[in-house]
Each structure stands twice: as C-alpha cells, then as structure tokens.
Amino acid sequence: MSTAALLGGTPVADFASQKPTLASGAALSRQLLVEAFDAGLWDDWPGTGSQADVFATEFAEFNGARRCALVTNGTHTLQLALEALDVGFGDEVIVPALTWQATASVVCDVNAVPILVDVDPQTMAIDPARVREAITERTRAVIPVHLYHRMADMDAILSICDEQGIACIEDAAHAHGSTWRDRHAGSMGRLGSFSFQRSKLMNCGEGGALITSDEQLFDRVMSLRNCGRTSPSGVKVHSGNYRLTALQAAVLRGELDALRKNADELDRRGRLLDDQIQNAPGVTPLFRSPNLTRQCSYGYAFLFDESAFDGLAAGVFRRALSAELGVGFGTCYEPLNQSPYYFPQEKRRHQLGDAYVAAIDPSRFDLPVAEKLWKHRVVQAHWPLFQLDPGDASLVGDAIQKVFENRQQLRQAA
Ligand SMILES: Cc1ncc(COP(=O)(O)O)c(C=O)c1O
C-alpha cells in the first residue's frame, strides 16, 4: 500500500496542470465581440439586429423554446420570472433546501414567502414528495433547481404543478444543454432561468436568460427587464433596468457554439466518471434517472459513505482526495437554513410585519436530508473534472482506492 499524499506520500496525479480538452468558443467570441464593438451596437435594444437579438434567437432555438429574454444575471431572471407570473405579497413559492441563495432570495425580493423543502438523498435535487406536502392555498410556484450535474425529477414536478394549478419555474443555472426525455432543461416549466456567471457552463462574466414558449409571459418579461417600457405587443409594467449588453451576447454566441460541440461529449465523460465512482470502494454516484437523456455540467459530485471508510470523516476524505489529485474537493452548498448568505429576515427591506419576518426566517425549516448530504456525504470537485482527458478518468477511481487503503492511518492522523 502506498502512503496517502495527505500523509506525505506521492500523489496519484496533478489534474491542475492538465490542459483543457473540450472545444473552446473563445476565438468566435472574440471575433463577434470586436465586430459588435466596431459596429457600435453595444446595448441589447430589441430589433436593432445586434448580437443580443441574434443570440436570444439562437439560445431559444437551441433549447427548443419559442422565446428568450436576455437579463442582467441568473438572479434577476428568477425575480422577473416571479414578477411575470404576478407572484407577490401573500404568496408562497416552494424552493429546494440545497441551492445557491438566489433561488430563495428572489422570492423575498418580490415580497412572497420562500418555503424551503428537503431534497432527494440520491440526486440532491428537490424531493417531489416534500413539494406535495408543502403545498397550501397560498402556493403559486415551485422552483426546481437542476443542481450540479443531475436534473430534478421533472415528470413528478410537472405533474404536481399541473394537478395543483401552480407554476413551475426551472432554475437551470447549472444545466445548460442537459435534457430530460430529450427536452432541454429550462424548456419544460412556464419559464426557464439560466445564469452566465463565470463558473457556469456558458459564461460572459455576468449574465442571464429566461426562456419560455408562452408569448404573454415573454411580453411581460421583455417589459419588466426594460424599465416597464412597452414590449412589442404593448405590455407595460412597473419595473427597473435588467438589460444585458450586446457585447456580452457576442461572447455568449461563442460559448453556445462550444456547448453545441461539447454537449454529447460532456454527457459521455459524466458517465465515465460515474463508472469510476460506481466501481470504487465506499462511494456512489448520484442516481441517474433514465429520463436524464443528456447531462451537461461543469461540476461533478458524488456520495461518500463514512461507515464504509470505518468512520473516516467526510472532511478528511475530501482533503485526502484533493491531495491525491492536485485539485480541490469540497462539499455542496450549505442547506439554506444554515447558509451564511441567506438571512432575509434581518434585512430591513423585508421587515413587512412580524408574521412576514417569522415566515421568511429560514431557521423555521427542518431539512435533515440536505444537512446530512452537506456534512457527511457530498464530495464535489471544485475543478472541472469534465475537462479531463477521458483516458485519465480512471485516476479518480485509483485515488479513491488509495484513500480507502489508507483510511485507518488517515483517521488516526486526523
Ligand atoms: C442554482 C443557481 N441559481 C441562480 C444563480 C444566480 O445566478 P447569477 O450568479 O448569475 O445571479 C446561481 C449562481 O450561482 C445558481 O447556482
């Protein structure tokens, strides 16, 4: 048995020094960015034929949606989706316990109440059974998040929404290009929200998009993102400025071109990594539904079993694996009732009365599945494992095997 890298042994690999192996859209982005700059079409005023018009059309088509509205970021997209559906004071919106705080914060930003529900222990996505339990006469919408590289069970969520007459807004910030029964993430709910922030699969620095096939909702979003200026069909609402720029859209056209080329390969690499985890000791891949027909992601997460490692703490396992592979492994987002970034009840803007403050206080929710995943089970690569040469995927399995063999020594050292 060779000594674990965390205990001074030689690491299995140095992934950080590897060159990216997926297609890049950088050259096209650069060319289109310069063209947009030279043409002087910098903003995204609709109908000017700017890169923003072109990208919005391309992104809608790519996702099989009729319409796409470009928005400042993937937080404002969710807020505008709620506003387009006229969700506001007195309403409740169901969101998963494990997500970036934006998914819930935006609900408070429209003065509604986020209802945090627990997640499925095998996929980390919102648990449809918990959604059903949480529905009240005030529920107006559910926001499933396609967390990391697994999609929420859209069959179950959509059927609950249909049956109960509530809206589904998909938060597809982690799922550009993924498909469920060959339908694109974001295209199945009333509205689908995307982020183009730096860490995402498509990146223009900061940015977002809402897709929908509902013309009336699209009209409302187009007016909402443009200070309430009338949309092409005359809808007018009170709002602010949530517009993107055509310069960002030019960058996104290159990113979309790369995603088209990489999407199937990302899926193949995800399956290869799952195979490695399936065959390694004491770890399991997240459950992959047969309905997840294509999975494109930038993050990779799997589940660790402390008891199979004779009580080795998940935190030590993550550090030991990081030392073996030369890139960081951590856990998932904190459950929202313990997030250092989510405490809306303390913001004066949200202090709309004692009942409202109590309702939005996240500590009132009990989220045991999310808490256990976060503390004890999830191992998430903080480096894009999908960029690995597929021939090197087996090194992940080798590194886990090595940590497993060193489990007693690692436990004693910890
Ligand atoms: C699941 C999820 N939803 C929404 C957002 C918000 O996107 P943005 O950072 O573009 O505002 C993020 C960003 O990390 C996210 O991960």
Q: What is the pLDDT of residues 352-403, one digit of tens each?
A: 999 999 999 999 999 999 999 999 999 999 888 888 888 899 999 999 999 9
Together in a domain, 162 and 311: no
319 shares a domain with 175? no
H/E element, 244: none
Tell how far the Cα of 183 is from the centroid of ligand 1, in angstroms. 22
Q: Which residue owns the Cα nearest ligand 1 atom 10?
A: 74
Question: How far does residue 11's CA lie from ligand 1's centre (Å)?
Answer: 34
145 and 72 in a single domain? The answer is yes
Note whether 52 and 119 are same-domain residues: yes
Question: Helix count (H) and strand count (E) of the chain?
Answer: 13, 14
50 and 191 fall within a common domain = yes
355 inside domain: no
Residue span of the structural domain in which 323 resides: 5-20+262-333+372-413
Smallest CA-to-CA distance from 387 within 321, 275, 302, 296 is with 296
Number of domains observed in the structure of the chain: 2
pLDDT at residue number 121: 97
At 87 the three-state DSSP class reads coil
Query: Taking 80 as the threshold, does the pLDDT of residue 236 lie above it?
Result: yes
Same domain, 14 and 80: no
Here the CATH number for the domain that contains residue 325 is 3.90.1150.10
- Spacing, Cα 312 to ligand 1 middle (Å): 32
The answer to whether residue 181 sits within a structural domain is: yes
What's the pLDDT at 230? 85
Q: Is residue 350 part of a domain?
A: no
Sort 27 into a burial class: Cβ within 10 Å, 0-12 / 13-18 / 19+: exposed
Counted residue by residue, the chain has a size of 414
- Asked whether residue 220 is assigned to any structural domain, the reply reads yes
Closest atom of ligand 1 to CA, residue 78: 4
Is 113 a member of any domain?
yes
Higher per-residue confidence, 319 vs 390:
319
The owner of tokens 């960015």 is: 33
Domain boundary pick from 214, 231, 255: 255
Do 232 and 266 belong together in one domain?
A: no
pTM over 0.95: yes
Task: Check whether residue 251 and residue 312 sit in a common domain.
Answer: no
